[in-house]
């Protein structure tokens, strides 16, 4: 039945589809399903007491400021704290280079709003973060992809991909969502050289950088860019990279508190765009995040998160080793050095969207990888989250999934023989 609304929606809504992942999460949210589908941090690690104390303290000491409107750029002490925090990772920027956003998801949307014209090509990794595709597609983006392997974006293939003249490159160098892989320094340097040579800016999305479980921290793209262009002096960053990070994984995603670090002129544009969206992030929430975060709490808390998630990653790897068919049967998986996700590849003929239906019958769930390929592909891949389940759930869930995969492989073999 045609409704009053049908012909009133803006053209840009025509490419809007509800996230495949969110639809799937509905399927997998049944009480006895062990779900590796979401990208959820472990709620057992949320700093509930600290947030409670900070809330009381903010209301008692600065209640009338906290409940008032404030600047779009964000609460200055919080931006200052973020600058000091980033400096320890080599990112030297000034408070004027920082905008507070409602999650990195809003930053992606604002970037789409200020940079993307309908039909603009964006260069993304294949696979890439689905939320970014959703945000950019709303502004009419088209995509060109660079393949990834166990070391992230395959920079040898960049030149080819850059021929499409992209508006920008969207990259996730640390513990990528969805694949969990990390770009080594040489590839990061190659990416920066290409960006500089062709004059194509980079959006560096880094929500997981602090969640490293082994190995050494690798310089972010924004740092390599500042070194390459010699533009990080006096904390005034004027380079080619827009850097995004968030407190969603180090404090709690429900706070919706994240930031953009970028050249001041870009921040000014983003500020104008944000004014039209929501004027500002909640003054109160920003003050609470500052109250919780300052004085070294985040660092101490991150140590604990690393221990717990690092352990859960190990439990999942051991469970896969035990319960999954191996490489000789065409099944392999990544060994992420950090982050929340592990990525498994099944034999070519296996469709993981179909596999999910069987898996849900066995009361275990994952995200079929095709959802993360903006230009198609990945039908035989699977994203598995390890941060949100207890050890015994991980072991039991992977055992169930291993049985489902094994059954598929056996029946494929019998069909081939018949
Ligand atoms: C790569 C990536 N970017 C951005 C986000 C959004 O994070 P936030 O909670 O800060 O909006 C996520 C969330 O999982 C993510 O994985």
CB 178 within 8 A of CB 21: no
Q: Ligand 1 centroid vs 340 CA: distance in angstroms?
A: 11
Whether the per-residue pLDDT at 25 is higher than 70: the answer is: no
Q: Is the pLDDT of residue 237 over 90?
A: no
Q: For ligand 1, atom 7, name the residue with the nearest CA.
A: 104
At residue 29, the pLDDT reads 72
Average pLDDT taken over every residue of the chain: 93
Between CA 322 and CA 316 the distance in angstroms is: 10
The mean pLDDT value for 227-237 works out to: 74
Probe target for ligand 1 pocket from 19, 37, 104, with the most ligand atoms within 8 Å of CB: 104
Tokens for 414, please give them: 């019998």
Q: What is the pLDDT of residues 57-78, one digit of tens each?
A: 999 999 999 999 999 999 999 9
**Overall residue count recorded for the chain in this entry:** 418
Which ligand 1 atom minimizes the distance to the CA of 129?
1
178 CA distance to ligand 1 middle (Å): 11
357 or 236, higher pLDDT: 357
Ligand 1 centre distance from Cα of residue 97 (Å)? 20
pLDDT given for residue 12 in this prediction: 85
22 pLDDT exceeds 80? no
Of the candidates 270, 158, 258, 160, the one whose C-alpha atom is nearest the C-alpha of residue 209 is 258
Predicted local distance difference test score (pLDDT) of residue 182: 98
The confidence score (pLDDT) of residue 382 equals 96
Torsion sign over Cα 31, 37, 41, 42: positive
What is the pLDDT, as a whole number, of residue 343? 97
Q: In which element (H, E) is residue 121 found?
A: strand 121-126
Whether the per-residue pLDDT at 1 is higher than 60: the answer is no
**Ligand 1 center–CA 104 separation, angstroms:** 5
CB 382, CB 390: distance < 8 Å? no
Question: pLDDT for 290-304, tens place per residue?
Answer: 999 998 999 999 999
Q: What is the pLDDT of residue 327?
A: 80
User: Ligand 1 mean position to 129 CA, how many Å?
Assistant: 8
Give the distance (Å) from ligand 1 centre to CA of residue 108: 9
pLDDT of 232 strictly over 80: no
Residue of the CA atom closest to atom 11 of ligand 1: 103
Task: Report which secondary-structure segment, H or E, holds 383.
Answer: strand 381-385
- Rounded CA separation 342/175 (Å): 9
Single out the residue of 67, 78, 72, 178 nearest to residue 128, CA to CA.
178
- Ligand 1 pocket test: which of 21, 40, 102, 131 has the largest number of ligand atoms within 8 Å of its C-beta? 131
Backbone angles phi, psi at 250, to 5 degrees: -100, -20
Mean pLDDT computed over 278-288: 98
Q: What is the Cα–Cα distance from 155 to 221, expressed in whole angstroms?
A: 13
Ligand 1 contacts (CB < 6 A) are: 39, 103-105, 129, 131, 172, 177, 205, 207, 246, 248, 253, 258
C-alpha 281 – ligand 1 centre gap (Å): 17
What pLDDT is attached to residue 234? Answer: 67
Q: Which of 37, 182, 248 to mutate to test the pocket of ligand 1 (most atoms within 8 A of CB)?
A: 248
Task: Note the pLDDT of residue 21.
Answer: 61
Of 94-103, 234-243, 307-316, 376-385, the range with the lowest mean pLDDT is 234-243
């Amino acid at each position: 039945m045609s409704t009053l609304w049908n012909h009133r929606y803006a053209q840009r809504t025509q490419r809007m589809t509800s996230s495949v992942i969110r639809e799937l999460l509905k399927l997998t949210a049944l009480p006895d399903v062990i779900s590796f589908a979401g990208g959820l941090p472990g709620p057992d690690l949320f700093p509930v007491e600290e947030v409670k104390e900070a809330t009381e303290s903010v209301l008692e000491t600065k209640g009338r400021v906290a409940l008032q409107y404030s600047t779009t750029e964000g609460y200055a002490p919080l931006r200052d704290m973020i600058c000091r925090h980033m400096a320890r990772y080599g990112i030297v920027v000034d408070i004027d280079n920082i905008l507070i956003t409602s999650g990195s998801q809003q930053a992606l949307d604002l970037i789409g709003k200020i940079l993307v014209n309908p039909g603009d090509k964006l260069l993304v990794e294949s696979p890439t973060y689905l939320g970014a595709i959703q945000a950019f597609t709303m502004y009419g983006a088209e995509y060109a992809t660079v393949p990834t392997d166990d070391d992230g974006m395959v920079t040898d293939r960049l030149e080819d991909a850059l021929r499409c003249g992209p508006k920008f490159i969207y990259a996730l160098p640390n513990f990528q969502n969805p694949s969990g892989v990390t770009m080594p320094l040489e590839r990061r340097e190659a990416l920066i050289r290409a960006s500089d040579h062709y004059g194509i800016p980079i959006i560096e999305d880094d929500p997981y950088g602090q969640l490293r479980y082994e190995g050494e921290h690798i310089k972010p793209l924004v740092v390599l860019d500042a070194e390459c262009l010699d533009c990080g002096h006096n904390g005034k960053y004027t380079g080619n990279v827009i850097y995004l990070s968030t407190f969603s994984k180090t404090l709690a995603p429900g706070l919706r508190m994240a930031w953009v670090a970028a050249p001041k002129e870009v921040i000014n544009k983003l500020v104008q765009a944000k004014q039209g969206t929501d004027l500002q992030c909640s003054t109160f929430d920003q003050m609470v995040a500052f109250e919780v975060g300052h004085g070294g709490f985040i660092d101490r808390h991150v140590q604990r998160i690393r221990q717990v998630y690092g352990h859960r990653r190990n439990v999942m790897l051991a469970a896969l080793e035990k319960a999954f068919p191996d490489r000789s049967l065409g099944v392999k998986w990544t060994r992420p050095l950090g982050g929340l996700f592990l990525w498994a590849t099944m034999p070519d003929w296996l469709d993981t969207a179909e596999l999910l239906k069987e898996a849900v019958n066995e009361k275990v769930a994952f995200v079929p990888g095709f959802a993360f390929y903006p230009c198609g592909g990945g039908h035989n891949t699977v994203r598995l989250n390890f941060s949100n389940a207890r050890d015994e759930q991980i072991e039991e869930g992977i055992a169930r999934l291993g049985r489902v995969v094994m059954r598929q492989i056996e029946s494929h073999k019998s069909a081939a023989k018949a």
